[in-house]
Amino acid sequence: VELAGERVVVEVADDDAERARGLMFRDAMPRGHGMLFLHEREEPQAYWMKNTRIPLDILYFDARRRLVSQQRDVPPCSAGDRCPAYPSAAPARYVLELNAGEAARMKLADGMELRFGPGIAP
């Protein structure tokens, strides 16, 4: 994908099992990498950090792939089902998780467009 003029190498999570697992149990994610979650419908989304060991920026995009909500510097959570949810401020269809600090470094602002590369079916 491309965002703010930068390329990000993504793993795609496009079914319920992949979306549920997300980035759980990983100790690190390389710089310039992320995970892209594809949802069937644009609707309010909320992600949580259950069993997630690395801090993340969670970026929510609408059906037009415009950035509509950001949860930055979300901390890891080992509290199981007591981990808090981080909701989108607006309905979203696509969610991009990056290492914490990347949204600030890239100077991301709501309204920016996420561009899909080949092999990612919207």
Does the structure show a pLDDT above 90 at 119? no
pLDDT tens track for 70-87: 999 999 999 999 999 999
Total residue length of the chain: 122
pLDDT tens track for 83-109: 999 999 999 999 999 999 999 999 999
